Chains A and B, each alone.
Chain A
Amino acid sequence: MALKSFGFVLFITLFLIVYFLAGRVVPQKWIILAFSLYVVLRATGPVSLAVLIIVCVMVWTGGRIIARDRKSDPGRAGLWYLIGLVFCIGTLLYFKFLTPVYDGLAAIIANRGGVSLPEIAAPIGLSYYALSLAAYLTDIRHGKHEAEESLPDLFAYAMYFPALFQGPINLYKDLMPQLKENHSFDQTNLIYGLQRLLWGYVKKAVIADRIGILVTGMLGDENVRGAALFFAMVLYSFQIYADFSGGIDVIMGVSETMGITLKENFRAPLISHSVTEYWQRWHMTLGTIMEKYLYYPIVLSKRMRRVSKKIKSKYLSRVFAATVATFIVFVLVGIWHGTGWNYVVYGLYQAFFTSTAILLGPVYKRIKEILHIHDKNPVWSLFTILRTFVVLTFGRYLIRVASLSRAGALYARTFSFAGAPKLSVDMLTQWLNARNLILMLCGILVMIAVDILHDRGVQIRTTILSMPLPVRYAIYYAAIFLIIICGIYGKGYDAASFIYEQF
């Protein structure tokens, strides 16, 4: 059941009816858990569900032992912390890297006339809840909160089904209290939630997947080279943002209708002025996890401070730890996205620009002073936005394809100018006709405009709610019919799943 499907819409409708009606007699967290179990079973099967249950049980057990023995028996607490991490992060690493080993073993056993080992699909949402549970254990170890007493409650938290599809990554302290409360039906929540859900589907079905047709066509045509190929990758940048943020909007919208507020995952990342700022605005919940549980522990660790002290340069000793931590974090971010060397290089690419900004910070500041450049100058601001966008677009070559060699080939095609056909409307209409191109362009502009407005504090949803009823209804009808009439779905198109569902 994909996020973008009639089946999901029907599923959510049924869920909300049960959630509010049965929620009057049954704690709503059990209803969420029941539907979550169904989602996991349906998406990846009973064996994957069993894996998820085992991980949750071990994390729950480990959490309780850590909380109990944290002060009295730190060795035992530390051991169970490791065991818990092995189960959640280890499971993630297994499905990322080691499934070929299992598949090979299964083939050997089957060939020798033995029992067929069951196929084990990666549990849906593994990349997201593995980090959530690891963060949960770490927070208990550091005394940030107590362990969850109820195993079913922990299941409900880990398997919170809206987030299984593509996040966001929810911290225990943020989500669990909301799950433990019962939420009565609230019209405002419903309207805001449905607004957000609609906007998410517009971004995904109308904008992202439409761009995807053009991007796939252009990248698949060896004749498309030079500026035209770079243009395709520019479009891919918009596609991946519309796709990922659209999916998150659907998830946030569903949660909002339930009365549950999740942490935002995006804050207008496409108008970032630097790579550093971009990662503060893009996939923010992953950023929070990485910052809180990796970056700061590395920077503030005794070992790092000892090494930093040995550096003679005062400035470099200050930034050394931050630079090393940045590289480690971004390499792991890259690997989180995928298992190939291209993802590792992607991480290094991001780390390079972020670290350069750290290391050369004073130099940049001095240059701007000399040239009288102010950050708030509109021309400078636009320049930095475009510069950042171009840098990030070049980085996305590495995650658009399956391997480093293919990324290399794409780069080579981009810089192959001799005889490259000019980018033109005629070229683009090979894959999308004129009406679709116009709709795609309008969609991108609207998406950017909405982001800019949000970034400036304009609450569009509140503004819509304050409009006269006929105007509001006209906007809703327009969005719904835009999705129905112009959405990319169904037999006529590939059922393109959300890009981030694969992670």
Chain B
Amino acid sequence: MKKENKTRKTIKLRAVNVSVFLLGFVLLFGGFQSQIRNKWNAGSDLRPVYADYEQQPTGSIDVLFMGTSEIHEGVSPMTMYHENGITSYNLATSWRHPITTYYQLEYALKHQTPKLVVCDFAALFEPDLYDALGYKISDTMPDPLVRLKLIHAICEYDKSVDPIDYFLPMVRVHDMWSTMTAADIGEPEDNKNYPPQFRGGMIFMREYDGDDDFEITPELWTPDDSDDTIPQANADYYDKMINLCRSKGITIVMLNMPRVEDAPNKAATWAAMENFFTSRGVKIYDYNTYEAVQALGLDLHTHYRDETHLNWRGAFLFSEHFAQVLKADYSLPDRRGQYADWDKTYSDFAAYYGIGG
């Protein structure tokens, strides 16, 4: 009897020891993982943006912006609201791939049913799904089911991907521990500098720091020898985006931002892009032409932070113009005064940028 009791005590003690060890490991692992995973090398953290997005009352967003950094930094929902009463949300992100954009859209449309989705097609010809982009979209995805589907899609697209890297971000550290600095731990710098509650996007107050010899001239849009073959997987995901929107009665349009850097590439691939979208009945708003840039009054050194991205002046100018276009084309309602929170947020926005309220 004594021996039995002793055995039971020993087993209990072992079970406690093992449990303590495993618990300690899980806590350490989770703790490290929650801090270190932020190094995506692909821009800001989307989590505060998604948290703010989910707080928006259902039905309050009329326009949803998706896509890449040109929209991420070039479209200001607050400007569109203040000038034209359009309530929009900017879920575009730096870097892009149709797979990540599609699953972001799928997530977004679970919470809102906007009248219009505006997306860019910069990713249409993009062959590579950069690990950092995949990690960022996956790590920050609040919806676990959408996250699972995204990871599965990425692994199907790129057979060399190890799903462990997506489910356990901690194991990615082996690839980067030796280059990490204090800035890589904790909240990303961009998040600290830009509040997420300005309805997504990230409008930088930065002056132009691109190539001083770069000039916007009509000759810039001379086509180069870029390949205009649309990878089938990319085409499939754009089709999925179009079909998803239409299944919910949402109009989807394509926006080509005034990204002057790759104007020759755009010129070379324009026919293929135009054919792709017009054959699917998708309207294209093309601002990547010399005439459009001139009509908008965009000046490289005043309105751009580099040859690809607008700065805050350029974003405000473009957003104001584009809001008028959308309002006219789609009879979007004027929501000014309808949501007190939007007015309050605009006041903060105006104070942040030092503009009139």
Contacts and interface: CB of A to CB of B under 8 A. Distances in A.
Contacts of A485: 32, 170, 173-174, 177
Contacts of A6: 162, 164
Contacts of A487: 174
A480 B25 contact: yes
Interface stretch (A373-381, A401-409, A442-450, A469-477): A469-477
Interface in A143-175: none
A473 B178 CA distance: 25
B14 interface: yes
Interface string B17-45: 10011001100110010000000000000
Contacts of B58: none
Given A6-B164, A469-B17, A490-B162, A436 B174 contact: no
A485 B20 CA distance: 22
A481 B175 contact: no
Contacts of A33: none
Given A6-B164, A473-B24, A491-B161, A481 B174 contact: no
B179 A491 contact: no
A433 interface: yes
Interface string A436-480: 100100000000000000000000000000000100010011001
Contacts of B17: 469
A67 to B, nearest CB: 44
Contacts of B170: 484-485
Interface in B147-173: 160-162, 164-165, 170-173
Nearest to A436: B178
B131 interface: yes
The 5 residue pairs across chains A and B that have the minimum distance between CB atoms? A492-B175, A435-B178, A485-B173, A436-B178, A487-B174
A493 B172 CA distance: 11
A477 B24 contact: yes
A492 B174 contact: yes
Contacts of B32: 481, 485
Contacts of B171: 484, 490
Given A6-B164, A477-B28, A491-B161, A486 B177 contact: yes
A490 B178 contact: no
Nearest to B10: A187
Contacts of A489: 174
Most buried by B among A436, A476, A491: A491
A499 B150 CA distance: 36
Contacts of B177: 435, 485-486
19 contacts: A6-B164, A433-B179, A435-B177, A435-B178, A477-B25, A481-B28, A484-B170, A484-B171, A484-B174, A485-B32, A485-B170, A485-B173, A486-B174, A487-B174, A490-B162, A490-B172, A491-B131, A491-B161, A493-B175
B25 A491 contact: no
Contacts of B162: 6, 490-491
Interface of B is mostly: helix
Given A485-B170, A488-B174, 5 more contacts: A439-B178, A469-B17, A489-B174, A491-B161, A492-B174
A6 B20 CA distance: 24
Contacts of B164: 6, 490
Interface residues of B, number: 24
Interface in B207-229: none
Interface residues of A, number: 22
Contacts of A469: 17
B21 A476 contact: yes
Interface in A1-26: 6
B14 A484 contact: no
Contacts of A435: 177-178
A495 to B, nearest CB: 10
A485 B171 CA distance: 6
B28 A433 contact: no
Contacts of A480: 25
Contact of B21 (A473, A481, A488): A473
Interface in B28-85: 28-29, 32
B165 A490 contact: yes
A433 B180 CA distance: 12
A433 B181 CA distance: 14
Nearest to A472: B21
B165 A491 contact: yes
Nearest to B173: A485
A201 B28 CA distance: 20
Contact of A187 (B14, B165, B179): B14
A8 to B, nearest CB: 13
A109 B14 CA distance: 63
Residue among A484, A485, A487 with the highest chain B CB neighbour number at 10 A: A485
Interface string A48-78: 0000000000000000000000000000000
Nearest to B180: A435
Nearest to A489: B174
Interface in A255-302: none
A65 to B, nearest CB: 50
Contacts of A436: 178
A490 B177 CA distance: 14
B183 to A, nearest CB: 16
B83 to A, nearest CB: 46
A430 B20 CA distance: 43
A490 B14 contact: no
Contacts of A481: 28, 32
A439 B174 CA distance: 13
Nearest to B171: A484
Contacts of B165: 490-491
A477 B28 CA distance: 9
A135 B24 CA distance: 47
Nearest to B28: A477
Contacts of B28: 477, 481
Contacts of A488: 174
Nearest to A205: B174
A486 B173 CA distance: 8
Contacts of B131: 491
Contacts of A486: 174, 177
* Most chain A CB within a 10 A radius of its CB, from B160, B162, B179: B162
